[in-house]
Amino acid sequence: MKHLFILIILLFSRAEAQTSAFSIADSLYTIGNYSKAINEYSKVGGLSSALQIARSYNAIGNYEKAIKQYQYVVDEDVVNQLAQLELGKLLLKMNRFEEAKSVFTNLTDVNTDNPEFQFYLGEANRNLNLSEESLEQYKKAISLDSTNLRSLFQLAKYYTIKRERDNALKYIIMGLNFYENDVSLINLHALVLFNDSQFEKAIPLFEKVIELGKDKDYVYEKLGISYNKNWEFNKAKEAYAVLLKRDDTNSQTYFDLASVYQKESKLDSAKIFINKAMAVQKPIFVNGYSQLAYIAREQKDFKTAFKFFERAHLEDNSDARVYYNLATTYDQFSTDLQKKLNYYENFLKHYPNEHPFYYETARKRISELKEEIHFTKE
């Protein structure tokens, strides 16, 4: 009895010492002193310490050692879902998607009712470019928890990119009903409406995205276009002014700003910004020359328009629309019937598979010109 009593005291003392050592390690871990915490956990031993060591390595960025520790815990305790979840998330972070998929497949097999496991399996499949499988997992996550915001976002994003308006809006609205100020979902909502040419409805959403702190360049770009399409020219100019303040070498911003002035019939200002766009544009000027040509044609200055279309064609002779405009503009001011005919015939020769309207107009005009030339000779 005496020996048994001593043994119990020794065991109790050892357990108490381990508890005390574990508490010390935990306190070091809590305040972020991870290296010392690892040393203390190592002294204690056991699976709980091994899990904490894995977390400590993860926290300090030593991911390979963290993965080895997590794997040790998972191998020793196959029912430890928390260790598997943390391991799978770390594997995703390290772009080890096949391994992550294996972990989350196991978790979803064991626990089919956990929406987080379904979501992360969806993430692994998405990164493996398995779109159908990832969509299935996100939908399963939502069926288990309709407020699973990350799954809702991934579905909404996928259908927005695919231009599937109704599906995108379905998941966007579901998410916003749960959290009305989710900036990512509001942004997707704005993009869906923008892509659907519903510019007036998209404007307040883009404005809210900026108000919520996501003032990315593309938001101002699409907001500027939306203002322009909605005839709110001053607001469009303000949006483009923000972009130019951030980057005054972006030719597209100047072109977009020029289109605002052109729509206002302020053609001299439009030309100024087109020239600025061309001054910073690299390496091709087709867009700039074409826009200057359109403005000149609008001003009934067909010779100048023709010269700009010629320059655009020299920059890129693969653009059929440029050459078509070259032919029709020459037709508007020249009296040289044969040269007019040559332009239209060259168009059909070099661009035989273009838009039916271009083809039919050119073909009809060739017939008319040949008749005019014939009667002139007569």
Region of 355 please: left (phi>0), alpha (psi -120 to 50) or beta.
beta
In a domain, 57, yes or no: no
17 pLDDT above the threshold of 50? no
Work out the angle at residue 179's Cα, subtended by the Cα atoms of residues 173 and 180, and round it to the nearest 5 degrees.
70
283 pLDDT above the threshold of 60? no
Expressed as residue numbers, the domain containing 168 is 146-198
Are 286 and 319 in contact, with CB atoms under 8 Å apart?
Answer: yes
Which of 31-40, 204-213, 327-336 is predicted least confidently?
A: 31-40
- b or e along 201-232 (b: 16 or more beta carbons within 10 Å of the residue's beta carbon)? ebbebbbbbbeeeeeeeebbbbbbbbbbbeeb
Q: Clarify whether residues 301 and 360 are in a common domain.
A: yes
- What is the per-residue pLDDT across 26-47, written as a single tens digit (0 to 9) for each? 888 888 888 888 888 888 778 8
14 pLDDT above the threshold of 60? no
Q: Clarify whether residues 263 and 221 are in a common domain.
A: yes
- What is the per-residue pLDDT across 95-120, written as a single tens digit (0 to 9) for each? 999 999 999 999 999 999 999 999 99
Eight-state DSSP code of residue 264:
T
The whole-angstrom distance between residue 376's C-alpha and the CA centroid of its chain comes to 60
Among the candidates 198, 233, 262, a domain finishes at 198
Instruction: Quote the mean pLDDT of the chain.
Output: 88
- What is the per-residue pLDDT across 363-374, written as a single tens digit (0 to 9) for each? 889 988 888 887
In a domain, 367, yes or no: yes
Work out the angle at residue 65's Cα, subtended by the Cα atoms of residues 59 and 69, and round it to the nearest 5 degrees.
90
In a domain, 122, yes or no: no
Output the pTM of the full model: 0.72
Tell me, what's the pLDDT at 320? 87
Residues of the chain above pLDDT 70, percent:
93
Tell me, what's the pLDDT at 357? 82
Where residue 274 sits, what CATH number does that domain have? 1.25.40.10
Q: How many residues does the chain have?
A: 378
Please give the average per-residue pLDDT across 116-142, as a whole number. 95
Q: Clarify whether residues 323 and 368 are in a common domain.
A: yes
Nearest by Cα to 309 from 300, 294, 270: 294
Residue type, 27: S
Q: Clarify whether residues 299 and 369 are in a common domain.
A: yes
In a domain, 9, yes or no: no
In a domain, 25, yes or no: no
Nearest by Cα to 286 from 323, 257, 258: 323
15 pLDDT above the threshold of 60? no
219 pLDDT above the threshold of 80? yes
Give the other-Cβ count within 10 Å of 287's Cβ. Answer: 19
Q: Clarify whether residues 275 and 326 are in a common domain.
A: no
In a domain, 35, yes or no: no
Q: Clarify whether residues 259 and 320 are in a common domain.
A: no
Q: Clarify whether residues 222 and 194 are in a common domain.
A: no
316 pLDDT above the threshold of 90? no
Tell me, what's the pLDDT at 22? 64
* 3-state SS, residue 72: helix
Q: Clarify whether residues 297 and 221 are in a common domain.
A: no
Number of domain units in the chain: 3
9 pLDDT above the threshold of 80? no
Q: Clarify whether residues 298 and 275 are in a common domain.
A: no
Residues whose CB falls within 8 Å of the CB of residue 78, separated by 6 or more in sequence, listed in order: none
Among the candidates 265, 282, 299, a domain finishes at 282
- What is the per-residue pLDDT across 153-206, written as a single tens digit (0 to 9) for each? 999 999 999 999 999 999 999 999 999 999 999 999 999 999 999 999 999 999
Residue type, 46: G
Per-residue pLDDT band for 289 (boundaries 50, 70, 90) equals confident
Tell me, what's the pLDDT at 214? 87
In a domain, 205, yes or no: no
Among the candidates 229, 261, 282, a domain finishes at 282
Region of 95 please: left (phi>0), alpha (psi -120 to 50) or beta.
left
In a domain, 5, yes or no: no
- What is the per-residue pLDDT across 248-277, written as a single tens digit (0 to 9) for each? 888 889 999 999 999 999 999 999 989 888
Tell me, what's the pLDDT at 13? 45
